[in-house]
């Protein structure tokens, strides 16, 4: 994975590198825009991570964004970072940087990530359908197995919050500065208010039809009250219906 900073494509969700309350014991932090190489092209993406405070006071950090010391200081004030989550085989790039600063934290990732990652990283616990003992009462998990990308999604039970990475992308057209990019995002079917997994990503799940159908039904049946997305506008109104619509392709 070849990443470089590029802040010229999207209007950012300011303030960046700042914890923002999202639900009870749930925060999000928007990070800098990145440019990720996908085959012969480079695509810009806004970034976002999610933080959940567990009953023991420890912090669960999903999809860590680029390391930022001011953001880390906010986390240290909030609690102890004990769980670092790479939710899929693309949202792992900054995990080693966070591991270096929070050496006591356990790192989690989907099956096969440690072997396929393009930079060295450590995965202590491989995620599946069952939540690890450390947070089994707080989360439900759902695994979407793919040929190239596998994603694990999370339902935070106490706040009825679904936490996704790439299986719904929901870019707001008004925040996209470049007309060509705006058109490409519309073509891919990932623009607000009808965001979903881009059509090319759905091809990744061919050959796993039964598992993907069951996983899509599981997310729909959770009927979350809100959804955190890594890319684009999060879902806070009629979230259950938005999830049903976004995952209709799996059924």
Quick: pLDDT tens for 216-239. 999 999 999 999 999 999 999 999
Maximum Cα–Cα distance for the chain, whole Å?
48
Average pLDDT estimate for 31-54: 86
Query: How many whole angstroms separate alpha carbon 56 and alpha carbon 40?
Result: 46
pLDDT per position as a tens digit, 175-196: 999 999 999 999 999 999 999 9
Task: Give the pLDDT of residue 2.
Answer: 43
pLDDT per position as a tens digit, 53-110: 999 999 999 999 999 999 999 999 999 999 999 999 999 999 999 999 999 999 999 9
Is the overall model pTM greater than 0.85, yes or no?
yes
Residue 212 structure tokens: 């993907």
pLDDT per position as a tens digit, 133-157: 999 999 999 999 999 899 999 999 9
Average pLDDT estimate for 203-214: 93
CATH of the domain at 40: 3.60.15.10
Task: Give the pLDDT of residue 40.
Answer: 62
Give the pLDDT band (50/70/90) at residue 200. Answer: confident
Give the pLDDT band (50/70/90) at residue 38. Answer: low
Reply yes or no on whether the pLDDT at 115 is more than 80.
yes
Average pLDDT estimate for 20-43: 87
What range defines the domain where residue 234 resides?
A: 3-250
- Residue that is written with structure tokens 């599946």 in the block: 128
Reply yes or no on whether the pLDDT at 5 is more than 50.
no
| 16 φ, ψ (degrees, to nearest 5) | -85, 160
Task: Give the pLDDT of residue 35.
Answer: 85
What's the DSSP call for residue 170? B
Give the pLDDT band (50/70/90) at residue 42. Answer: confident
Give the three-state DSSP class for 245.
helix
Helix then strand count (H, E) for the chain reads 7, 12
> Is 125 exposed, middle or buried, given 0-12, 13-18 or 19+ CB atoms closer than 10 A?
middle
Number of domains in the chain: 1
In 3D space, the residue among 103, 101, 52, 98 whose CA is nearest the CA of residue 79 turns out to be: 52
Where in the chain does DSSP place strands (E)? 3-5, 20-23, 26-38, 41-53, 58-62, 80-85, 106-109, 125-126, 139-144, 151-156, 161-163, 226-228
In 3D space, the residue among 97, 156, 88 whose CA is nearest the CA of residue 122 turns out to be: 97
Give the pLDDT band (50/70/90) at residue 37. Answer: low
Cβ–Cβ under 8 Å, residues 64 and 28: no
Task: Give the pLDDT of residue 43.
Answer: 82
Task: Give the pLDDT of residue 3.
Answer: 45
Task: Give the pLDDT of residue 228.
Answer: 98
Task: Give the pLDDT of residue 4.
Answer: 43
């Amino acid at each position: 994975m070849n990443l470089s900073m590029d802040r010229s494509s999207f209007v950012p969700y300011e303030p960046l590198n700042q914890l923002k309350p999202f639900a009870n014991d749930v925060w999000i932090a928007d990070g800098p825009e990145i440019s990720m190489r996908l085959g012969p092209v480079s695509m810009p993406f806004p970034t976002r991570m999610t933080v959940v405070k567990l009953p023991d006071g420890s912090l669960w950090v999903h999809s860590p964004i680029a390391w930022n010391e001011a953001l880390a200081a906010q986390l240290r004030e909030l609690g102890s970072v004990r769980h670092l989550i790479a939710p899929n085989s693309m949202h792992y790039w900054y995990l080693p940087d966070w591991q270096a600063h929070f050496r006591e934290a356990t790192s989690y990732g989907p099956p096969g990530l440690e072997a396929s990652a393009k930079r060295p990283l450590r995965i202590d616990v491989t995620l599946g359908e069952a939540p690890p003992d450390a947070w089994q009462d707080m989360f439900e998990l759902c695994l979407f197995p793919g040929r190239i990308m596998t994603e694990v999604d999370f339902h935070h039970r106490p706040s009825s919050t679904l936490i996704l990475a790439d299986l719904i992308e929901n870019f707001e057209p008004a925040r996209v500065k470049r007309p060509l990019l705006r058109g490409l995002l519309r073509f891919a079917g990932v623009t607000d208010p009808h965001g979903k997994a881009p059509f090319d990503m759905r091809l990744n799940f061919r050959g796993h039809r039964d598992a993907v159908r069951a996983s899509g039904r599981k997310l729909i049946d959770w009927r979350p009250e809100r959804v955190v997305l890594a890319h684009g506008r999060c879902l806070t109104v009629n979230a259950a219906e938005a999830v049903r619509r976004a995952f209709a392709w799996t059924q």
